Amino acid sequence: MENSNKELKEDDEFQKIHKEYKEMKKKLQRINQEKRDLEINLKKLTQKLQNNCNHIFFREETTSGCYREVHNICSICGLWS
């Protein structure tokens, strides 16, 4: 009888932990989906900003050394050209 009570308590505890695990996993999936949606929206806004910007470019070295690379970067929207 004591063993069956102990097994029931362990089973109940397992069920509680399993339920909490499922809830956290669903919450993480929702947060990841929201993050992806925000990244997509941010990318679209960046493209709109860069398309409507009156660019003011400055030259900047992006790598150093004997084979350095120099790029033109807009100081307003950050567009590289």
Q: Is residue 34 part of a domain?
A: yes
pLDDT for 21-60, tens place per residue? 999 999 999 999 999 999 999 999 999 999 999 999 999 9
Residues 32, 33, 34, 38: what is their CA dihedral angle, to the nearest 10 degrees?
100
Query: Which residues span the domain enclosing 21?
Result: 2-54
CA distance 8 to 20: 18
Percent of the chain scoring above 90 in pLDDT: 62
pLDDT of residue 65: 83
Residue 27 located in a structural domain: yes
Confidence of residue 5 (pLDDT cuts 50, 70, 90): low
Total domain count, the chain: 1
Whether residue 79 is contained in a domain is answered as no
